[in-house]
C-alpha cells in the first residue's frame, strides 16, 4: 500500500500527523536530505506515493527532487511552512502543468 510522507519543520508537520500521514520533523536541510534519501530508496519496503516537502527545505534537496521530476511516484509536492509561502510550490506546479499540457493554463 502506498503512503504519504510530510517532511518539514515540527510546527509544519504536526497538523499532518493528526491526519494520519507519516511525518518527519526536521530542523535543517541536511536532516531533510537524509530523511528524503532514506524514504526514497529503491529497496524501501514502504513506498511513498506522495512526499510533501516544506518549501524552505527544497533548495537543499534540489538534486534529489530532480530525480523524480519525470517519475509518477513519488510525487514531490512543495508546501509552505509556518512563515508562509515562498512561491516555489506554485512555480513547480506551473512548470509541471506546462510540461503536461504544453501551455501555461494557470
**Residue 106 pLDDT greater than 70, yes or no:** no
Question: Hey, how many other C-beta atoms are within 10 angstroms of the C-beta on 86?
Answer: 16
- Are the C-beta atoms of residues 27 and 56 closer than 8 Å to each other? no
Tens-digit pLDDT profile for residues 31-58: 999 999 999 987 776 689 999 999 989 8
- Are the C-beta atoms of residues 86 and 69 closer than 8 Å to each other? no
**Residue 24 pLDDT greater than 90, yes or no:** yes
CATH 3.40.50.10580 at 3-101, yes or no: yes
Question: Hey, how many other C-beta atoms are within 10 angstroms of the C-beta on 17?
Answer: 13
26 closest CA partner among 62, 66, 60 = 60
pLDDT score at 85: 58
**Residue 88 pLDDT greater than 90, yes or no:** no
Average per-residue pLDDT in the chain? 82
Residue with cell 491526519: 19
Domain spans, the chain: 3-101
Q: How far apart are CA 18 and CA 36, in angstroms?
A: 21
- Residue 59: which pLDDT band, with cuts at 50, 70 and 90? confident
This prediction has a pTM of 0.78
Pick the range with the lowest mean pLDDT from 1-10, 45-54, 63-72, 91-100: 91-100
Q: How far apart are CA 52 and CA 38, in angstroms?
A: 15
Backbone φ, ψ for residue 98 (5° rounding): -60, -40
- Are the C-beta atoms of residues 7 and 24 closer than 8 Å to each other? yes
- Residue 104: which pLDDT band, with cuts at 50, 70 and 90? low
Amino acid at each position: 500500500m502506498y503512503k504519504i510522507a510530510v517532511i518539514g519543520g515540527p510546527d509544519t508537520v504536526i497538523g499532518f500527523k493528526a491526519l494520519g500521514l507519516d511525518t518527519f520533523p526536521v530542523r535543517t536541510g541536511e536532516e531533510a536530505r537524509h530523511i528524503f534519501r532514506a524514504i526514497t530508496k529503491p529497496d524501501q519496503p514502504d513506498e511513498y506515493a506522495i512526499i510533501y516537502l516544506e518549501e524552505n527545505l527544497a533548495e537543499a534537496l534540489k538534486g534529489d527532487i530532480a530525480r523524480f521530476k519525470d517519475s509518477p511516484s513519488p510525487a514531490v509536492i512543495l508546501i509552505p511552512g509556518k512563515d508562509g509561502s515562498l512561491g516555489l510550490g506554485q512555480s513547480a506546479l506551473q512548470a509541471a502543468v506546462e510540461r503536461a499540457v504544453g501551455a501555461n493554463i494557470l
